Amino acid sequence: MNGYDFFDLCDELGLMVWEEFGINHPIEPLDPEMFLENARDRFRVRRIHPCVVIWCTANERGPREPILSAMPKLAAELDGSRPYLQHSTLKPFAEGDGPYSTHGPTYYAQLARGWRTEVGSPAVPPIESMKRIMPHEKLWPINETWATFDWVNAGETAFWCGRTEKAIAAFGEPVSIEDFCRKAQMVSMETFKAIYEAWNDKMWNNCSGVMIWMSNPCWPSLLFNTYDYYLEPTAAYFGCRKACEPIHVQWSMASNEVKAVNATLKDLTGLTADARLYNLDGSERLRNSAKLDCPANSAHKCFDLFDVETERDAAVERGLSSVYFIKLELKDSKGRLLSDNFYWQGKAPGVYQDLSGMDRVKVTGTAECAQDGDACRAEVAIDNPNKGLAVMTRLKLLDEASGLLVAPIMYSDNYFSLVPGESKAVTVEFSAKSVSGNRVSVWVEGWNVEPAKLNQLQIKRPATASN
């Protein structure tokens, strides 16, 4: 895909592009005149694309003269229809950047304001990628080799990685690399979903946008993996994807409000929002629901999850386990599911150790694959027939010839949770060229889900052209 294809595709899909001209901090081009000629060409070529919503010369700081004076003049002369920024954190248009360490959901609720150009959290890759990144003998415990792959400042008082270690330990001190990666996915799901939902919660109420740093590392890294170096999407990716649904239902730990978020241009009427609370053993403890309309391009309060006066009704409080679960659903006037959501919450905020004591469950499922040339599309159906919940259920496709995960790959959903009796359909798309042999196995696992092989898919390898 060349650059023009990218912008055409963003136009078609309605994806906004922040067009930055490549200066970073004090690093200036060796030939400013050539830079400005290039910038002139970029303005001319890309101004025709509606996906471009802003011009920005530099990342975080800069530029210097003559670029400092020349760039705003070029932007006005050659376009004039979009905002122009000298650098990405310039106020008042932007609200600054960071932090890049791990925080709880209430922190992001307080942070949410205006347009924040960068915020992030160390997102650890899954265990399969971790084993490809580092030598086996260096995987555990955390050691100096981790720093080679960006895990720096580790320890109790550390800033980036140390905060992440503490967040992981809130689920219980990890005892192995597998346990560390499993708990890290819990942290990533909660953190990245909380970032976007914090801005959703105040949509157009002094909240206009947020961008994360970053989508993926360009080398094998232990940090910022919404999808990792090997192209495997992590729980951070699916946390972002869930929160950014065009029609979305969410709960705020900070305000106690359940809201419907309608990021489309169509008014939604006759909706039903439903919330259920579950204990660790899967028993339902509370249900709340409301009818509502949600205007286009807005976030609308459905109800308070708990009693407004007492924060939590005393009878419900006595019946809740130390960690409990919140299941939300938003349905249209015909009862069709528009959005669902899932949270875990501790009576003591951020204390999740008792999740480790959940009963293990076995989920059932089927997987069938259709192939059209090189394009493979697997339809996977997952059922939770248990009395307990299946938390952070993960699907993965294994290339049996290489023993590696199939990549690149697109899941319609993953790292999802199923309440008792719930079912879910997931679509998985990949290329036959990405498979070494002709067999792919579909596996399911999760926080408390017993690993199981659902099916073995037969893949037709594309014919190799002969010389």
In contact, 127 and 181? CB cutoff 8 Å: yes
Torsion of Cα atoms, 347 then 353 then 355 then 356, to 10°:
-160
pLDDT of residue 410 exceeding 90, the answer is yes
pLDDT of residue 308 exceeding 60, the answer is no
pLDDT in tens, 132-188: 999 999 999 999 999 999 998 755 556 789 999 999 999 999 999 999 999 999 999
pLDDT in tens, 320-357: 999 999 999 999 999 999 999 999 999 988 999 999 99
Instruction: Tell me: do 270 and 303 sit in the same domain.
Output: yes
Instruction: Tell me: do 126 and 217 sit in the same domain.
Output: yes
For helices 177-201 and 160-169, the axis angle rounded to 10 degrees is 100
pLDDT bracket for residue 466 (50, 70, 90): very low
Local structure of 374: helix, strand or coil: coil
155 found inside a domain: yes
Instruction: Tell me: do 81 and 136 sit in the same domain.
Output: no
In contact, 139 and 158? CB cutoff 8 Å: no
Whole-number Å distance between alpha carbons of 127 and 139: 10
CA angle 237, 239, 242 (to 5 degrees): 105
- pLDDT value, residue 310: 52
Query: Considering the chain, what is the average pLDDT of its residues?
Result: 93
In terms of Cα–Cα distance, which of 378, 361, 362 is closest to 370? 378
465 found inside a domain: no
Instruction: Tell me: do 331 and 395 sit in the same domain.
Output: no
Q: What is the DSSP letter of 358?
A: S
Residues facing 340 on adjacent strands: 329
Q: Above pLDDT 90, what percent of the chain?
A: 87
Average confidence (pLDDT) over 243-253: 97
> Based on the structure, what is the number of domains in the chain?
4
94 found inside a domain: no
463 found inside a domain: no
pLDDT bracket for residue 270 (50, 70, 90): very high
Instruction: Tell me: do 210 and 198 sit in the same domain.
Output: yes
The domain boundary, picked from 243, 263, 283, lies at: 243
In contact, 280 and 354? CB cutoff 8 Å: yes
End-to-end CA distance of the chain: 26
467 found inside a domain: no
pLDDT of residue 311 exceeding 70, the answer is no
Query: What would the DSSP string read from start to end of 147-200?
Result: HHTT--S-STT-SHHHHHHHHHHTT----SHHHHHHHHHHHHHHHHHHHHHHHH
pLDDT of residue 131 exceeding 80, the answer is yes
Q: Which amino acid is at 345?
A: Q
- pLDDT value, residue 158: 65
pLDDT of residue 111 exceeding 70, the answer is yes
Instruction: Tell me: do 83 and 109 sit in the same domain.
Output: no
Instruction: Tell me: do 279 and 402 sit in the same domain.
Output: no
Instruction: Tell me: do 261 and 131 sit in the same domain.
Output: no
- pLDDT value, residue 318: 65
Whole-number Å distance between alpha carbons of 442 and 454: 5
339 found inside a domain: yes
97 found inside a domain: no
pLDDT of residue 26 exceeding 90, the answer is no
| Token pair belonging to 140 | 């555990």
Average confidence (pLDDT) over 28-34: 93
Instruction: Tell me: do 239 and 111 sit in the same domain.
Output: yes
What is the residue range of 16's domain? Answer: 3-87
- pLDDT value, residue 467: 40
pLDDT bracket for residue 61 (50, 70, 90): confident
Higher pLDDT, 93 or 9: 9
- pLDDT value, residue 96: 84
Whether the model clears a pTM of 0.75, i.e. scores above it, the answer is yes
